[in-house]
Amino acid sequence: MEIRVGQVAVHAVEHGAGAGPPVLVLHGAGVDHREAEACFEPALDGVAGLRRIYPDLPGTGRTPAPASLRSADDVVDTLLRFADEVTGGTAYLLVGHSAGAYFAQAMAARRPERVAGLALVCPLLPAVREVPEHRVVVGSGDIGDDVFRSYFVIQTPEMLERYRRYVAPAAALVDEAALERIGEHWALTPASPPAPAYPGPVVVVAGRLDSTVGHAAAVDLVHHYPHASLAVVDDAGHALPHEQPDVLRALLAEWLTRVERSL
């Protein structure tokens, strides 16, 4: 489907329907909805009533990023308007991986009354620190291309196949110039006065071996959000949703239980 938001025609795919809240799943930088769909759909499919929506972020996949989008703030504004359109004004859940989690946090902060729950997986954060060196824990480290070898810490033929199916194809669709333009103003403008912490159910999932954003800054979020669960997963890097699907499924199930209780 395609939802026009101002000058941006946001492309998205949708699964499921029912009486439960919609779930908006945001992918990371340099990929498109296919990676998020492949990683999160197995955990969300089968949960009664959930309508899952996977948009391509501006400048990726089939969503363009016109010249009017010049910052992360502009991207968040676009995503908030997209969420309003696609959910019909009802409360929704937000799931984000990497940069998608960065945008999801901002959306929840700006519209807490609209967000029924927030799941942050390997979140990109302004306070990223203590990022470890990349280390392979399974495999010889000599299969795949350089991007695969720097992204996955579990480097098996199965993970390489996932990379080739769900990650690599997005590279040809990325608008590099647009992402560079937006990236020059990637830091979101703080609210003034500062907004209170999002009060709903939160789960934060980080990979101990994440050599892209680390896990130290993610750990701090458990003190920021009053109703947050935190998991730092061993033998997982930034590709945690691929590498540890069973752990991710269990953590999202616990989060969904808390969301249901809060509705």
Helix H or strand E segment including 44: helix 33-44
pLDDT tens digits, one per residue of 177-222: 999 999 999 999 988 788 889 999 999 999 999 999 999 999 999 9
Residue 149 sits at φ, ψ, to 5 deg, of -65, -25
pLDDT tens digits, one per residue of 226-256: 999 999 999 999 999 999 999 999 999 999 9
Q: Which residue bears the tokens 């896990």? A: 215
Q: What is the average per-residue pLDDT within 4-26? A: 91
User: At what angle are helices 33-44 and 245-262 packed, to 10 degrees?
Assistant: 70
Q: What is the pLDDT of residue 192?
A: 77
